[in-house]
Amino acid sequence: MRIPSPSSHQPVAGYGPESGVEGEVSKRRSEVEGLRVLVVEDDPKIASMLAKGLRAKRIEVETVTTGLDALARVERGGVELALLDLGLPDMDGLEVLRRVRATGNSLRVIVITARSDPADRATAMQLGVADYLTKPFAWKQLWAAIEGS
């Protein structure tokens, strides 16, 4: 394949409007707008930052600070994605995830945690999380995880 020079105004094959790539990006963008996300985070600053960033992307956000509150909110339904911290004050986030899965709920979950232990990551992945992000993480990482979940 010949790649056009920068002075050429022809699109690179496979990346123009005819490729469907632009349509796919628009499709993903529209799929996340209005997404209902539960942020389970006990640190108010982190929870606020996450909520503000998600709302800027037109995502509906609700925040809770404990595992028990997360379980109660998930049980009521309507949550499409959870951003789950593992270090919660009342129970471990992995226990929250185990309890959600024990009910047969296949809620999409992205773990956001300061814990980088490979055993925690492996357990979370076995419990079906969409991604496991270690704090601090870049917004681009979180956004990619949300789009890919």
8 Å CB contact between 63 and 47: yes
CATH number of 35-148: 3.40.50.2300
Alpha-carbon torsion (30, 46, 133, 140), positive or negative: positive
Q: Domain extents for the chain?
A: 35-148
More confident residue, 9 or 53: 53
- 67-119 pLDDT, tens digit per residue, is 999 999 999 999 999 999 999 999 999 999 999 999 999 999 999 999 999 99
**Alpha-carbon dihedral angle through residues 101, 38, 109, 112, given to the nearest 10 degrees:** -120
For 11-27, what is the mean pLDDT?
A: 36
More confident residue, 61 or 22: 61
Rg, the chain, Cα only: 18
State how far the Cα of 32 lies from the Cα of 92, in Å rounded to an integer.
28
